[in-house]
Amino acid sequence: MNILLIGNGFDLAHKLPTKYTDFLDFIKVIYIKKDSVMQIVDMAMAESYPNLNPLIRRWFAEKNTTSESRYDLQRMQELVSNNIWVEYFLDKVADDGDRWVDFEGEILEVIKSLDYMKRIRGKKELNHHDLKKYELEKKLIRIIENANLYSNISLEGKRIKIDVNNLNEQEYYNNIIKYLQGDLLRLIKCLEIYLVYCMDSKSIEERTTDIAELSIDKVVSFNYTDTFRLLYATNINSIEYDFIHGKVGDKDKFSFNIQDNNMVLGIDEYLDDSRKNIDVDYIQFKKYFQRIHKETGCKYKMWIKEMQEDDEKKYNEIISIQPKADKEMTRKLCLRHNLYIFGHSLDVTDKDILKELILNENVITTIFYLNKQVYAQQIANLVKVIGQDELIKRVSGPNKTIIFKKQQDMIPIE
């Protein structure tokens, strides 16, 4: 079995604007309400947005051609208008003076701060260590007030109030957490529209021979896009896919309903064992919940089981023919499987999946890297995933099972 595992670096290698910063640059153009689509297009073409990806700039230029295109743009405007998360991310970029923003990292910081402040409010005096969380919460309330979503919420001293009454736990959930959940769904739907309508596979001019030369049976994708199938799947029906974080909808039957979406955008579990099964106020922000709720599945587990069953079948066949054969050597003669990793940082947040695949018996893992800097980071990340001793054992000696390979230059699509 040949499994390909891809991360966002796969889309970036094909020059697709799939970074969160690309999406945020796009949002900046449509964020301020304009009187007409043409005004938005004019803004996109202006020099005031120098970081806007050329592919997206071209997409804007085409948006005034049909009523359907104008509707797409207007719908996205509605999704980001007065969106708490959009406001927060844009504020973050402005405050830091940097285009880079990690959506998942920022969502985690917000949720942990709100969780902490909700638990300690009224129970203790704020100390130096509490101030950062308090300031973040205060900033969030300011964004809510400025968005005119909840004009009855105000911040007085160290307490959030509705009119003159302090927010109790249920009010805190109804007036803050609940709306953060709703705005996250709106943001995810806007991201889906962006990826479906702005990512035109016809605009891709190059592809990688590293992947084109492989015969792939299964694809584990951490991306929302379907780039591999569009560019490399010669026999579409013979390849199985597992989209770990969900995938964008099909363009020809796309739904603009925010509930019709299976894309996962959230945080990893941050609570300890004593709290994680009890405190569920923020569960809808967590990836594991979203995967279950949006039914993204985990086909890769079935593929691992399939490999193990094939190996066991082959082993038993050999032993039945040669009962005295060396059992350890026979295991090594069983079917060899290949795992190819392209465009994935091997970050510890995906540890469970990476570890299950890489440490599976009779799997040879080939990890493609872009340059020496990326190579070094992948090594460091892999230590966190499988451990130093395991890594050293698997990259050295005659029976090594992990191979690092530099990516070849991209070649033009003929």
- pLDDT string in tens for the chain (414-residue length): 999 999 999 999 999 999 999 999 889 888 765 556 666 666 666 666 778 888 888 877 776 556 666 777 788 888 988 898 998 998 888 776 666 788 999 999 999 988 888 777 666 677 777 788 888 877 887 777 666 544 344 443 333 343 323 556 676 666 778 889 999 999 999 999 999 877 776 778 899 999 999 999 999 999 999 999 989 987 777 899 999 999 998 888 888 889 899 999 999 999 999 999 999 999 999 999 999 999 997 999 999 999 888 877 776 777 677 766 665 665 566 668 999 999 999 999 899 999 999 998 789 999 999 999 999 999 999 999 999 999 999 999 777 899 999 999 999 987
Residues 73 and 6 in one domain: no
The predicted structure's pLDDT at residue 142: 74
Record the tokens describing residue 246, joined without a space: 């969900």
What confidence tens digit (pLDDT) does each residue in 18-45 have?
999 999 988 988 876 555 666 666 666 6
- Choose one of 63, 81, 99: the last residue of a domain: 81
What confidence tens digit (pLDDT) does each residue in 295-308 have?
997 999 999 999 88
- Residue of 106, 104, 107, 99 whose CA lies nearest to 22: 99
Judge whether 119 lies within some domain.
Answer: no
The predicted structure's pLDDT at residue 43: 67
Q: How many domains does the chain have?
A: 2
Residues 210 and 72 in one domain: no
Residues 230 and 362 in one domain: yes
Residues 70 and 6 in one domain: no
Judge whether 72 lies within some domain.
Answer: yes
The whole-angstrom separation of Cα 114 and Cα 16 is 35
The predicted structure's pLDDT at residue 324: 62
Calculate the alpha carbon distances from 402 to 301, 302, 339 in Å: 20, 22, 9
The predicted structure's pLDDT at residue 78: 87
The predicted structure's pLDDT at residue 107: 95
134 Rama class: left (phi>0) / alpha (psi -120 to 50) / beta: alpha
Cα 65 versus chain centre, distance: 32
- Residue of 18, 32, 8 whose CA lies nearest to 86: 32
Residues 7 and 33 in one domain: no
Judge whether 259 lies within some domain.
Answer: no
Residues 65 and 7 in one domain: no
The whole-angstrom separation of Cα 410 and Cα 414 is 12
The predicted structure's pLDDT at residue 71: 75
Cα 373 versus chain centre, distance: 22
- Choose one of 43, 58, 81: the last residue of a domain: 81
Residues 71 and 214 in one domain: no
Record the tokens describing residue 174, joined without a space: 């109804």
Judge whether 121 lies within some domain.
Answer: no
User: What residues make up the domain containing 45?
Assistant: 17-81
- From the number of C-beta atoms within 10 Å of its C-beta (0-12, 13-18, 19+), residue 179 rates as middle
Residues 29 and 6 in one domain: no
- Choose one of 81, 99, 128: the last residue of a domain: 81
The predicted structure's pLDDT at residue 335: 61
Residues 362 and 395 in one domain: yes
Which DSSP string corresponds to 153-202? EEEETTEEEETTEEP-HHHHIIIIIHHHHHHHHHHHHHHHHHHHHH--GG
Residues 219 and 364 in one domain: yes
The whole-angstrom separation of Cα 128 and Cα 135 is 11
Residue type, 123: K
Do residues 291 and 222 touch, judged by C-beta distance below 8 A? no
Residues 6 and 50 in one domain: no
Record the tokens describing residue 152, joined without a space: 């009855």
Could you tell me the pTM of the whole model? 0.86
Q: Pairing mode, if any, of strands 2-6 and 363-369?
A: unpaired
Residue type, 187: L
